[in-house]
Amino acid sequence: MGCKRASAFRRARRVKDECTETRGFEPSAGCGRFSLDALELAALARHDPQVPVDASVLPHLKECARCQTAVDGFDRDNAFLGEFKGVLIAPTEPDARAVPDAESGPIRGYRLGRELHRGGQGAVYAAEQLATRRACAVKMLLGGRFASERQRVRFEREIEVVARMRHPSVVTLYESGLTREGEPWFAMELVEGARLDDFVRTNALHGRQVALLLQSVTDAIAYAHRRGVIHRDLKPGNILVDVDGTPRVLDFGLARLDDGSNPIAPGAGTTMAGEFLGTFAYAAPEQLSGDPNAIDTRCDLYALGVVFYECIVGRKPFEGARSIAELIAQKTTSIPQRPCALVPALDRDLEVIVMKLLSPEPARRYDTADALSEDLARFLDGRPILARDDSLSYVVRKTLRRHWIASSAAGALLATVLTASVALGFLYAHAERERVRSERTLSTLQNALGSANPETGAGSSSMRIDDFLTIVEQQVRAELVDEPYLLAGVLRTVGLIHLGFDDPNRAREAIEQAYRTQVEGVRLGSVLPQQLAETELALARVCFNTADFVSAERFYRSALVLREESLGRDDVDTVDTLRQLASVLRTTQRLDEAKACLDDALARSQSFPSTATAAITRVGILNGRATLAGARNDFAQARAQYAEALDALLKFVPEDDYRVGRTRYNLARAQVQLGDLDAARENARAAILVLRARKGDEASMTRQAVALMEEIEKLSATDDGR
């Protein structure tokens, strides 16, 4: 023993001498009773009770300071050198960190391979279970010991969730445990396959085949739901199709688990308020609201709808959002384009199923994944599906209603406006062909805004339109700052909506800005004369409504000239301008001039095409003649012409059209003048109903109609008294 010790020291001395860089280096080899192997094992055993130690070493250490020093030295060196284990020599080499040696790797019994996936929760590695030589996937907590407590809890929850699952379309958990550093991990079966969307694209699958795949996924989700698990992050990347063509759902990292024995019922939830977990593109609207109570199994059904849509159409139902806020607005208020419009060959029943899944309202989706599975089975068997299509009237009603609900509606229409604006800004900068397209888009945008006008749309002035328009206007001004001519077109529409809601000052401000820009644009050849004419007409209306008749006449006359030059003398729009000019002339008591205008207009209308627009324009001229007759106190003629106009109008528009209300009001006025109070009362009552609905209680036209009704009642009472 003594010889061995001397030999060890001689070797140590030699090593020391050889190494000029290690001055002061004094290796401690203990007293020599035990080998360095034994002493190092004793050092290792301090941290790992599994390490085999010579039983006689430990009592010896208590007595031998030299051996104790040696063990301390080993311990200190091991701890220090252990730090180097994770150090990469080439730190930026992708995934080099993920391939530690099997024996020294983080998980006992597994050899880790390349990194397969890295998500918000953890990293997944290909691995080999050494005992069984079985290939598997190992998921480890992202950030290791630096992971936050919340991440750690979620990860452990995921292990619990996966452990509950035994389904052919859900990955199976093999084993879980703690790494050498005490971090959780789990091993699961390794699915060799393609992402669902890649698989569909590569194999050019069509509707029916996609439905077949999705049915397996739906069954897996139904299974999960029955076990109290909501996946919450379903997307093509989390559905792999294996080599047998079986889709497999994986990554339950964000799943919510109902710990009770009852399956999750709609409304159950424990996520922190305001927290969003999942993937925006596939998240249900209620998931984006941040309200944990709003999340239930139907979130997964919505995500399946997005996946379904994407697989059969080739793109997501909502694309083009430039921010999360826009995406949320789209999801909550828009209806995606119908799949059959994009893929005409698609079976209509499949479209109904997908659209039902994508309903923004959870209550309109399937109640359960089982119900969806049943409908898919019916579709695949060629039986009638149970889901019913949203009727067109439902869709229209819903869209309109959403657009009219004050603040949230503002966001919806705003999203449309902004999206269109961006498209316009881009398109306008390109070729002439693109410019034509952009003008069409502009027209769409203006129509979108125009639908907010209660005179022609379905709104009422009791909504918070001010807030809505303020936001729209600000955003449009900001978005189109580099496109003044586009901005002008939008501002004109915004101005007309202001006017429709009895706010002529803001209307004038917006339209005047549009006018100034367009005058300059016409001079430079960037704006068409008919575009300027429309703005002049809008400005004329504003001036007329604010009793600025001189300006109104000037703008009407200017617009008339522009339209005659660009559209022709007998064009419907040109003739309508003539009728409007007559209104100003009549109002300013230039009745002969007004009559001449109306006669001219009526003569020109003889060559109108037989369209509804043309017919309604002609009704307007008849109306104008009736009003003129009234102004001349020829109430009998006025009554006859209003009645004629009303009959003609009702052939083209419904009873609750604003113009019907206005004509009935005028007719009632003439009837009052002629003492026909019963007929006047009926028309006044009908007019008030329409005007209240279209313009609101406070609108001047409504108030006038109400006042007329009071007058009729008063006159009736007087008559009765007589």
Residues 306-335 that bind another protein (CB under 8 A): 316, 319, 321-324, 327
Work out whether 83 is an interface residue with another protein (CB under 8 A).
yes
Q: Identify the residue among 49, 62, 92, 274 touching another protein (CB under 8 A).
A: 92
Residue 482 CB, shortest distance to another protein, in Å, is: 18
Output 35 or 444, the one with its CB closest to another protein: 35
Query: Cα–Cα distances in Å, from 575 out to 405, 457, 556, 566?
Result: 37, 24, 12, 13
Residue 381 near another protein by CB under 8 A = no
CB of 236 or CB of 362, closer to another protein: 236
- Smallest separation (angstroms) from another protein to the CB of 277: 7
Q: Which of residues 28-67 bind another protein (CB under 8 A)?
A: 29, 35-37, 40
Q: Which helix (H) or strand (E) holds 126?
A: strand 122-129
Give yes or no for a contact between 479 and 425, defined as CB atoms under 8 angstroms apart: yes
Interacting residue with another protein among 1, 2, 3, 21 (CB under 8 A): 21
Task: Determine which one of 219, 233, 349, 571 is catalytic.
Answer: 233
The nearest distance, CB 457 to another protein, in angstroms, is: 32
As measured in angstroms, the least distance from the Cβ of 568 to another protein is 48
Nearest to another protein of 91, 721 (CB atom): 91
432 near another protein (CB under 8 A): no
- Taking the complex as a whole, the smallest distance from the CB of residue 94 to another protein amounts, in Å, to 5
Q: Which CB sits closer to another protein, 283 or 540?
A: 283
Q: Find out whether 226 and 196 touch, Cβ atoms under 8 Å.
A: no
Binding of residue 351 to another protein (CB under 8 A): no
Taking CB under 8 A as the rule, does residue 163 contact another protein?
no
Which residue's entry shows tokens 């694209």? 201
- Number of chain positions touching another protein (CB under 8 A): 72
- Choosing from 109, 113, 237, 425, the residue that interacts with another protein (CB under 8 A) is 237
Q: Could you say which residues in the range 570-629 bind another protein, by CB under 8 A?
A: none
Q: Could you give the C-alpha distances from 232 to 86, 103, 203, 282, in angstroms and in order?
A: 34, 37, 28, 9
Contact 92, 77 (CB under 8 A): no
Binders of another protein among residues 169 to 188 (CB under 8 A) are none
* Rounded alpha-carbon distances, angstroms, from residue 183 to 107, 122, 419, 557: 10, 12, 47, 82
> Residue written as tokens 């006669």?
599
Between 16 and 378, CB nearer to another protein: 16
Please choose, out of 231-239, 257-265, 291-299, 389-397, the segment that lies near another protein by the rule CB under 8 A: 231-239
Nearer to another protein among residue 76 and residue 516 (C-beta): 76
φ/ψ of residue 253, rounded to 5: -60, -25
User: Shortest gap between Cβ of 382 and another protein (angstroms)?
Assistant: 32
Residue numbers 118-157 binding another protein by CB under 8 A: 118-120, 142-151
- Please name which of 521, 522, 497 lies closest in space to residue 507, comparing C-alpha atoms: 497
Chain-centroid distance of CA 579 in Å reads 45
426 binds another protein (CB under 8 A): no
Q: For the CB of residue 194, give the shortest distance to another protein in the complex, in Å.
A: 15
Residue from 87, 272, 345, 363 in contact with another protein (CB under 8 A) = 87
CB of 119 to another protein, least distance (A): 5
Find the part of the chain contacting another protein (CB under 8 A) among 8-16, 294-302, 466-474, 527-535. Answer: 8-16
Which residue in the set 233, 374, 455, 473 belongs to the binding site for another protein (CB under 8 A)? 233
The rounded distance, in Å, linking the Cα atoms of 372 and 305 is 10
Binding to another protein by residue 300, rule CB under 8 A? no
Shortest Cβ distance from residue 405 to another protein (Å)? Answer: 26
What's the rounded Cα separation, in Å, for the pair 183 and 148?
Answer: 12
Whichever of 318 and 665 has its CB closer to another protein, that residue is: 318
Q: Which is nearer to another protein, 241 or 690 (CB)?
A: 241
- Number of alpha carbons in the 13 Å side-chain half-sphere of residue 254: 20
CA 634 to chain CA centroid, Å, is: 58
Cα angle: 672, vertex 677, 679; to 5 degrees: 100
Site for another protein in 255-294 (CB under 8 A): 276-282
Taking the C-alpha atoms of residue 201 and residue 458, their distance in angstroms, rounded to an integer, is: 43
Q: Is 159 in the site for another protein (CB under 8 A)?
A: no
- Pairing relationship of beta strands 229-230 and 184-189 according to DSSP bridges: unpaired
Q: Binding residue for another protein (CB under 8 A) from 3, 48, 62, 80? A: 80
- Among residues 43 and 211, whose Cβ is nearest to another protein? 43
- Among the listed ranges 84-92, 397-405, 627-635, 704-712, the one in contact with another protein (CB under 8 A) is 84-92
Task: State which of residues 55, 81, 345, 392 lies at the interface with another protein (CB under 8 A).
Answer: 81
CA distance 615 to 7: 118
Nearer to another protein, 250 or 622 (CB): 250
* 3 state SS of 719: helix
Element housing 139 (H / E): strand 134-141
DSSP string for 424-489? HHHHHTS-HHHHHHHHHHHHHHHHHHHTT-TTTSS--TTS-HHHHHHHHHHHHHHHTTT-HHHHHH
Give whichever of 43 and 533 is closer to another protein, judged by the CB atom.
43
Residue 60: name the closest of 52, 49, 51, 71 by CA.
71
Closest of 530, 561, 566 to residue 443, by C-alpha = 530
Of 6, 25, 202, 337, which one interacts with another protein (CB under 8 A)? Answer: 25
Which pair of structure tokens corresponds to residue 270? Answer: 């424990």
Q: Which two tokens stand for residue 134?
A: 């079985």
Q: Indicate the SS3 state at residue 554.
A: helix
Per CB under 8 A, the list member of 1, 3, 55, 89 interacting with another protein is 89
Concerning whether 576 is annotated as a catalytic residue, the answer is no
* 11 is an interface residue for another protein by CB under 8 A: yes
Is residue 106 within the footprint of another protein (CB under 8 A)?
Answer: no
- Residue 35 C-beta: closest distance to another protein, Å: 8
Q: Which phi and psi (to 5°) does residue 138 adopt?
A: -115, 130
Q: For another protein, which residue of 2, 49, 52, 91 counts as binding (CB under 8 A)?
A: 91
Question: Among 20-28, 457-465, 476-484, 597-605, which window interacts with another protein (CB under 8 A)?
Answer: 20-28
Alpha-carbon Rg for the chain, nearest whole angstrom, is 39
What is the rounded distance in angstroms from the CA atom of residue 543 to the CA atom of residue 545?
5
Both tokens of 175, joined, read 């084993």
User: Given the complex with another protein, which of 281 and 596 has the nearer CB atom?
Assistant: 281
- Among 265, 322, 315, 324, residue whose Cα is nearest residue 295: 265
- CA atoms of 590 and 556, how far apart (whole Å): 15
Look at residue 521 and give its three-state secondary structure.
helix
β-sheet bridge partners, residue 318: none
Assess 478 for contact with another protein (CB under 8 A): no
Cβ–Cβ under 8 Å, residues 290 and 275: yes
Residue 655, helix vs strand vs coil = coil
- According to CB under 8 A, which one of 32, 34, 73, 646 is a site residue for another protein? 73
Query: At closest approach, how far in Å is the CB of 425 from another protein?
Result: 18
When the beta carbons of 215 and 330 are compared against another protein, the nearer one is 330
The catalytic residue positions are: 233
